[in-house]
Amino acid sequence: MSVRLLVTGAAGFIGSHVCEALLARGDEVIGLDNFDPFYPRAVKERNLDGLRRAQGFRFVEADIVHDALPLDGVSVVLHLAARPGVRPSLEDPASYSETNVTGTVRVLEAARRAGVRRIVFGSSSSVYGDATPAPFAEDTAAVWPISPYAASKRAGELMAHAFAHLYGMQIACLRFFTVYGPRQRPDLAIHRFTRLIASGEPVRMHGDGSSERDYTYITDCVDGVLAAVEWTARPRPGGGLAEPINIGGGARVRLDRLIELIGRALGREVRIERHADQPGDVRLTAADLRRAERELGYHPAVGIEEGIRQFVRWHEAIHGRER
């Protein structure tokens, strides 16, 4: 049975893929985005190309902080809109608080007023900080964020917990672990490294290359989001629930290996410029996926080598258009 869903951040990387997957299974989707200038509007417009032509999709240009949300007939809200990026949050923490905390509260309150009880909230692995033992499990405290971005995402989760407790909402707080794939934001490492290596420019590598990330391919991420939508429909004895759930790739990949894989997929020699570690960056992310498996039936299917090959193929296919 199809439902109507509101997806905030619909023109972004994850949001546009999620909208396509919802439409493909027969749902009706209202996509909302404010085209924040964090990266060029043209990139987001390209993400929407197929969606704008799709039956069952309606796009609304609006801001979650300042504008009313189109919630008529909506059964589920997928709140994926955010001001992204760990490093930029060090330069402008107030704007991160406004969008990621105040904006999230406004989404939750609008949903409450409209009678929408099912919410999927896009959180981040950055909430674990640098002091959580690996692999990161959702029942750890997550009270030591090391960037304003991470703190804003953790604050959004805490607000979700309050709304779930007070108003009987069912909220899945998905902690995404470094999602990549076609349409990835141009500022993120895999996209940036690919662009530099493909054009013969050196890659800036911060640290000695031993830092590790749990990378999640976009199709696995989307599978997790759709499973979380179904999770919010389960009856819960005793009232509402806001549950943090990791969405990861299931493996730790060193930075130097990642760069090597990109170079190999491109068939190019890699030149590396070494720089000091960046403030706000964690040394390690590693997802404990036992809760995701138990609650969502989540099993990542795309490993880093295949994922990088697919990303590079996409990058090469659009390279001429971007230049």
Alpha-carbon span 296 to 7, nearest angstrom: 20
Contact 190, 217 (CB under 8 A): no
Contact 176, 213 (CB under 8 A): no
Alpha-carbon span 128 to 207, nearest angstrom: 20
Contact 248, 287 (CB under 8 A): yes
Q: pLDDT digit string (tens) for 152-185?
A: 999 999 999 999 999 999 999 999 999 999 999 9
- pLDDT of amino acid 69: 98
- pLDDT of amino acid 211: 93
Contact 159, 104 (CB under 8 A): yes
For residue 77, what is the enclosing H or E element?
Answer: strand 76-79
- pLDDT of amino acid 156: 98
- Tokens (6 digits) for 112: 């409450």
Annotation marks residue 39 as catalytic = no
Alpha-carbon span 96 to 302, nearest angstrom: 31
Among candidate residues 96, 149, 217, 298, the one labeled active-site is 149
Amino acid at 314: W
* 134 burial via Cβ count (<10 Å: 0-12, 13-18, 19+): middle
- pLDDT of amino acid 39: 86
* 274 burial via Cβ count (<10 Å: 0-12, 13-18, 19+): exposed
Which domains are seen in the chain, by residue range?
4-177+218-250+286-300 (3.40.50.720)
Residue 252, classed as helix, strand or coil, is strand
Residues of the chain falling short of pLDDT 70: 320-323
- pLDDT of amino acid 321: 43
- pLDDT of amino acid 323: 40
Alpha-carbon span 174 to 212, nearest angstrom: 20
Alpha-carbon span 79 to 121, nearest angstrom: 5
